[in-house]
Structure 1
């Protein structure tokens, strides 16, 4: 038996690690110009470094979830943190754009070792009630990282140089490696199937209910990233006001703390519908209101919607996948990040209102998926 004290410490470690890991997805966004000036290249070359990171991070997400079935969740998380510390430090040492491409790619792979393994580790270690709350905390951290990662890198770059932002994160990962090695308890050894990983993933994708969950998953961080990117590109106020809109939006993430209670009281599918309703209302309001105060209120509502949806979808994926949850959550993490990585190019190409139309279409389509998911769940109960 693992003591309650150790489980609480484990929850804190996983949540904090999730924040710092996810922060590095967004660190380059506010400092593209500074890095481009350092290397004397066009800013688009640095944006390419962010795209490479996203590709290799997604590859890491796909690889490490199944690998944790073989090597164990704890070992993958701890080894991944040490590798992340080294690769992140190497990013800061990059002398030119080509070296940045290589180090950011390696960093992407190493950071990809956390999310799917942490989700599967949570299912292995915690009881359902505690697990839902932990998933809420981890995913709230992921959402907060979308803003905090940008704030940290821009603040450090303002006072020092862009390299120091990566040195800072490298030190954080190394400290988390030491703490995790000391505290994280071993989980029960996952059942190792004789069926190949590719075969299992094909089976998961063919499962209708999971496929609908994955379709919803793709839209979540895509919508989150595109929403803030669109605001950033169209906002005509001061930088301080834009900072306020982004920062205050974090208040919405507090709603995720009640996800477990909502799921227990009204069910996962009704919670999903509530999150979709909040998101749809906030997007519609964006068409009509553009003042700073209105955008702050809309930002809080929209972040609240995503904060509610992400842990709910993870809970559904974990339940529907059963013993194959590590691989299912690897696919989930891969699809979630793919959506996040495609959002900035989409926001760059489309006009502000067209981005809103796209997000509205996503949320309305998600209502359709949610309807069929709840119908399938009702049929399963009857049979």
Structure 2
């Protein structure tokens, strides 16, 4: 691997963490923003929903758009636009301003994930590609906690607006680095109809649909749990901070997922992830102490960090020649799940959040069983 590709790999991983962090920055400061702007807290949560909607549009649009305009160009322009839209969030002083700025921020940040995945498939060998995808997805997972830690820490030390000034500066720095580091990309001459036809056919793929069903629950569960814990420990900020920080250690498991898949097989690895997640959630529903939740949250994060690389490996394999577009849909489904978790969780108390997540993992077990049967049938077909 040449030097430029090494730098590109590092840049994509760092950018992934900073981009995904902004999905979560409002979660720990809903109350602070509502007091600052003198609006109801559910209006701030609605701003998060608008972010989610526009982020989803960005994820679906920019992946195929990069086929026509080039991966490098989309990422560079997207980073610059993200810097300005994030700055706008920090400058708002009205409800409409918050809605508009968060919507634009969601749209512009949606330009990164699917294009980065496609760029990796364009420029890296299969072995390096798998490792990079694991690192980027681990970054997305860590961002779920890191984004909240950065947001709550900056707000505790100053004002909430500085959270977005910090990220605006970060995105501008990443824009400069992308301009310098990213390799030139070939432009594909696909017709829009062909792209839409391919995307539609992927949604009709029965086995892929089951993978996408599991994908949706992963970051949804992750965000929902930490949002629920945040509300449960709302009056104890020090305990909440340490609980979030300790949970990060569970994300380390994702770095070893490739070896686990090689040794035990993709299906066994997947069901192990389901089992760890289910056990940790059932235990959390029984034990609500700070120490118990801190310990069990490590197990839960470990299960998610095991499942994300496993599912992306399945999606990449099943996508075949349309792998890049299958991964565009994967990133859309994964991060849409993360984005809509908070508005839903706001309606539930912590115990009901845990019951909902247990239900998701039961559903994942069922989908996993059908998925395994279909994979066996496909292997016999060949």
TM over 0.5: yes
Give the distance between the partners of 1:61 and 1:28, measured in 2 at CA.
20
Aligned to 1:375: 373
Matched, 1:13 2:11: yes
Secondary structure at 2:201's aligned position in 1?
helix
2:238 paired residue among 237, 240, 246: 240
Give the distance between the partners of 1:229 and 1:160, measured in 2 at CA.
22
Q: Is the 8 A contact 2:45 2:342 kept in 1?
A: no
Post-superposition offset of 1:355: 2.1
4+ runs deviating over 4 angstroms = 187-191
Deviations 1:182-240 (A, max 9, x none): 11223455573674333222211110011000100111111111111222233488321
Deviations 1:139-176 (A, max 9, x none): 11111111111121222222222222111111111111
Give the distance between the partners of 1:88 and 1:272, measured in 2 at CA.
37
Q: Which runs of 5+ in 2 are unaligned?
A: none
Cα RMSD (Å) of the superposition? Answer: 1.9
Matched, 1:228 2:193: no
* Greater mean deviation of Cα atoms: 174-183 or 204-213: 174-183
The verdict on how the C-alpha distance between 1:292 and 1:37 changes in structure 2, with shifts beyond 3 A counting, is closer
Deviations 1:325-365 (A, max 9, x none): 33222222222233223322332223333222221121122
Give the distance between the partners of 1:262 and 1:74, measured in 2 at CA.
33
2:352 paired residue among 326, 351, 354: 354
Please show how residues 158-307 of structure 1 align to structure 2 within 5 Å: 158-187=156-185, 189-190=187-188, 192=190, 195-235=193-233, 238-307=236-305
Post-superposition offset of 1:34: 2.5
Give the distance between the partners of 1:232 and 1:81, measured in 2 at CA.
30
Q: Is the 8 A contact 2:49 2:343 kept in 1?
A: no
Q: Is the 8 A contact 1:57 1:110 kept in 2?
A: yes
Q: Is the 8 A contact 1:80 1:110 kept in 2?
A: yes
Aligned to 1:71: 69
Q: Which runs of 5+ in 1 are unaligned?
A: none
Aligned to 1:110: 108
Give the distance between the partners of 1:257 and 1:46, measured in 2 at CA.
35
Post-superposition offset of 1:104: 1.2
Q: Is the 8 A contact 1:23 1:146 kept in 2?
A: yes
The verdict on how the C-alpha distance between 1:236 and 1:55 changes in structure 2, with shifts beyond 3 A counting, is closer
Post-superposition offset of 1:37: 2.5
1:146 paired residue among 134, 144, 149: 144
Give the distance between the partners of 1:201 and 1:289, measured in 2 at CA.
44
Aligned to 1:24: 22
Aligned to 1:122: 120
The verdict on how the C-alpha distance between 1:73 and 1:270 changes in structure 2, with shifts beyond 3 A counting, is farther
* Greater mean deviation of Cα atoms: 156-165 or 85-94: 156-165
Give the distance between the partners of 2:346 and 2:106, measured in 1 at CA.
23
Please show how residues 39-58 of structure 1 align to structure 2 within 5 Å: 39-58=37-56
Secondary structure at 1:64's aligned position in 2?
helix
Aligned to 1:339: 337
* Greater mean deviation of Cα atoms: 373-382 or 187-196: 187-196
Give the distance between the partners of 1:181 and 1:354, measured in 2 at CA.
47
Please give the TM-score of this superposition, normalised by the length of structure 1: 0.94
Q: Is the 8 A contact 1:125 1:188 kept in 2?
A: no
Secondary structure at 1:26's aligned position in 2?
coil
Post-superposition offset of 1:15: 0.8
Aligned to 2:34: 36
